Structure 1
Amino acid sequence: MSLDFPLDRAAHPLPGAERRAILADPGFGRWFTDHMAVAAWDTERGWHDGGIRPLAPFTLHPGAAVLHYGQEIFEGLKAYRHADGSLWLFRPRDNARRFAASARRLALPELPEDAFLRAAEELVRADADWVPEADADGPEGSGEQSLYLRPFLIATEPFLGVRPSAQALFRVLASPAGPYFPSGVTGVTLWVTETYARAAAGGTGAAKCGGNYAGSLAAQNEAREHGCEQVLYLDSAGHGTIEESGTMNLCLVTRDGELLTPALGTILEGVTRDTVLALAPELGLRPVERAIPLAELRSRVAEGTVTEVFAAGTAAVLTPVTGFKGEGYAVTVGDGTPGATTLALRRAVLDLQYGRTEDRHGWLHRVR
């Protein structure tokens, strides 16, 4: 049986003037739209009770498994308004597949890909007025308004035994997002932590689950204490290879035209990462996925054979990395400013997402 998402429209949506005031400066994750997508699952009925309902709090039994054992997953994707007013999602089936893979790893029920897609579509249609206009005429990075979607799945069975929950709730929230770099794209410096590790072989690093992010907060604090905006993790096996930058995948541009990125395994299979790897040949780059030792990164940045470094993720698209710090060293990438190749790749991704260039990969999914 397919899972549908009929609309139960909110009786008291936010007045238009208040919504427009929010959209003028939404920030990121501060405001939520009038509706949410919902569905429930249990071992007897499977998936059921799907719908688009008014945004509202919901109650959980204090013994719910998610509160005690962290059995939950989430996703992040965006809806974009094109110049003609149409609304589009970018690569939503890739998010749906990753959501299912994360569910398998956390022993949660797998939501069918079509149901994931319908939930996202119907929520965007219900809250279409919340999708901001995109202004492409401002400085680099300033015209990137979108509607961020946050699907999540939590274990809700009230039971204090350590086993997979027999009940779960699915929700999708929507939150208008302003430009990540409102004054133009700037670079960040990463702190190479030797105290914390993000993931280990056989762990949950390849799943998008909250525990991975909760465990990163102390490392982010360590980075800030050393004057850095984000953290760079090394592998937990002690090989000294780089993994991820906080919540983003890391990429290196070399002088001889390679686009290097750590291989998958213990890191998240980022949709933006995959997009950049696919677009790289169009900009004259050869994508290479392999283990990258920290020693190689430091030496090649110092000698100038790694000319640019950037991080890739849904929120900021591409974030230039202009320097690294670690215990006893500091390295500047290039001349310490965002690189031309990084900015060109960033523009190529955004032009696809906002419909300013032809979608030859079939990544755009029209909603309305």
Structure 2
Amino acid sequence: MNIDIELIQESKIDTVDFNNLAFGRTFTDHMLICDFADGEWKTPKIMPYGPLSFEPSARVFHYGQAVFEGMKAYKDDNDDVFLFRPDENFHRINKSGARLAMPPVPENVFFEGLKKLLELDNAWIKKGIGNSLYIRPFIIASEGAIAASPAEEYKFIIICSPAQSYYAGEVRVIFAEEYSRSADGGVGFAKAAGNYAAQFYPTSLAHKEGYQQIIWTDANTHEYLEEAGTMNIFFRIGDKLVTAPTNDRILDGVTRKSIIQLAKDYNIDIEVRRVSVAEIKEAARQGELKEIFGSGTAAVINPIKGFKHQNEAFELPEISDSYASFFKDKLLNIQYNKLEDKHNWRVKI
């Protein structure tokens, strides 16, 4: 595949303090852009990272046609670079796009463009557990028109940001009672930009009560726990791990499905089923609720220290044999080429 390449005149990498990176604030030298117009995707371009020009009438600003993905590139001790299950991200961005009436990105544009981008910005991928390059592919409607219909022009873009271990501090959550993340038949399963914007206000209310996130419940009854903030959610009751099934309200997370497979590999009892608020509260009262943790690309696994529902607040115990630590260790060692990859999840660049 032809890729037009415009190299940066002078890299900015020497101005970056890689020991003090704020997540998602620093970007590499180059980005990839591919335009869709006249019913087809054009030749991809790699160019210096920088501002883009859009008409004020670009449909993305008015009708929200925007989907994205989150991936990471890892460098092992031999300076080899790997992606983790990138096929899942490719299929999901097109599944998300289809739900918003956007054209699918061709496989060669996604993978060959990404590979070339990572080759050019290889120096930005640092070795060591916790260091990675966060990759953000996204598609937006770029056509200048304010008619309420799908756009006829789009941009597929990939930008990259160096990242360190993601630590959110101690996280406590509120179980949602009023607001909903998504509804039946909606776009909750897609990584649509609007899904995240809709969470900001309810989450800000949780912050005022001293809680960092919300665990969303089903929109119809608010009786079943589904997803936490930007993460899938797991509960450990005794030695059993439980997580909600995916549906059209819940994102089919790559880290989530990896944890489910690892649990099976290591003979950890896991159930994928609906999880009720009442069940988790009762397990907490009885001392059987050992852990709650979220999973996602950025944080990998994020333990949750406590939760609130209605007028009851619960703290979780400190345990030495946490599943959260176990799974995070296994995943990181697979991603950094330190552990056997029996499922062929690693893809070498």
TM, length-normalised to structure 2:
0.96
Mark the CA change 1:124 to 1:99 in structure 2 (over 3 Å): closer, same or farther: same
Distance in 1 separating the partners of 2:52 and 2:225: 40
Alignment of 1:247-286 (within 5 A): 247-255=230-238, 257-265=239-247, 266-286=249-269
Q: Which of these residues, 195, 208, 214, is aligned with residue 178 of structure 2?
A: 195
Q: Which of these residues, 34, 37, 40, is aligned with residue 46 of structure 1?
A: 40
Q: Which of these residues, 121, 139, 150, is aligned with residue 136 of structure 2?
A: 150
SS class of match (1:324): strand
CA offsets 1:19-64 (integer angstroms, 9 cap, x no match): 4xx222222111000000110002x240113021111211111111
Identity of counterpart residues, as a percentage? Answer: 33
Distance in 2 separating the partners of 1:273 and 1:338: 22
* Residue matched to 2:57: 63
CA shift for structure 1 position 200:
0.5
Check if 1:364 corresponds to 2:346.
yes
Give the residue type in structure 2 aligned to 1:219: P
* Residue matched to 1:326: 309
CA offsets 1:209-234 (integer angstroms, 9 cap, x no match): 11000000012111111111111111
TM, length-normalised to structure 1:
0.91
Distance in 2 separating the partners of 1:338 and 1:222: 33
- State whether residues 295 and 301 of structure 2, in contact with CA within 8 Å, keep that contact through their aligned partners in structure 1: yes
* Residue matched to 1:137: none
Gaps of 5+ in 2: none
* Residue matched to 2:31: 36
Give the residue type in structure 2 aligned to 1:347: D
Distance in 2 separating the partners of 1:163 and 1:216: 25
* Residue matched to 2:109: 115
CA shift for structure 1 position 267:
0.5
Check if 1:17 corresponds to 2:11.
no
CA shift for structure 1 position 336:
4.4
Distance in 1 separating the partners of 2:112 and 2:177: 43
CA shift for structure 1 position 133:
1.9
Check if 1:81 corresponds to 2:63.
no
Gaps of 5+ in 1: 135-142
Mark the CA change 1:186 to 1:57 in structure 2 (over 3 Å): closer, same or farther: closer
Equivalenced residue count is 348
CA shift for structure 1 position 180:
1.0
* Residue matched to 1:138: none
- State whether residues 4 and 43 of structure 2, in contact with CA within 8 Å, keep that contact through their aligned partners in structure 1: no
Q: Which of these residues, 336, 339, 349, is aligned with residue 354 of structure 1?
A: 336
- State whether residues 187 and 338 of structure 1, in contact with CA within 8 Å, keep that contact through their aligned partners in structure 2: no
Q: Which of these residues, 6, 15, 26, is aligned with residue 21 of structure 2?
A: 26
- State whether residues 321 and 338 of structure 1, in contact with CA within 8 Å, keep that contact through their aligned partners in structure 2: no
Give the residue type in structure 1 aligned to 2:267: G
